Structures are given as structure tokens and as C-alpha cells.
Amino acid sequence: MVPTKEEVELKIGKLAAWYDTAARPLKWIRQVQDFKKDIKKSMDYLPSEVKSRLKEKKKALELYMLEKRLIEIEDLIRKEKQKGK
């Protein structure tokens, strides 16, 4: 049986919508990568003292994120221990 024109258009529309939804995160990832490249390029023009301060802030932010994750893990462990009692 040959599909009707409407059935074909519906399938094509669904496929196009799925592709758009599936490709969206890839577009975001590319945008972030491009943004990071632009930042690295602009870092070359900054004075060394500004670069060092930015590196210190980046390290502080990474440390904060690690501490935050550690607290989340400790909370999960506490909750699991309480469930076991």
C-alpha cells in the first residue's frame, strides 16, 4: 500500500522536529566551544597581572565547586545510612 501525501508529510514533519530537538544540544555545545576559543584569544591581549587574577579566581571557583559536590556526596551518604537503620 502506498502512503498518502498527508502521511508522508506528517512523517517528514515528525522527523524534522526530532532532528531539530536532537541537534539543539550539539548547537549549544558548539556555541560554548566557540565562546571558550574567543575567550582564550582575548586572554592573549590582557596584561599578565589580570591573567594571574583570573587564574586565581578560576582556581577558587573550581575549589568551591568541588567542596559543594563533596557536601552533596556526604549528604547522600548520610541519607543512605539513615535509610539502612
- How do residues 35-57 score in pLDDT, each as one tens digit? 888 877 877 777 888 888 888 99
Q: Where does 1-85 show beta strands of DSSP type E?
A: none
The whole-number pLDDT of residue 70 equals: 94
Predicted pLDDT at 32: 82
* Percent with pLDDT over 90 in the chain: 25
DSSP string, 17-48: HHHHHHHHHHHHHHHHHHHHHHHHHHHTTS-H
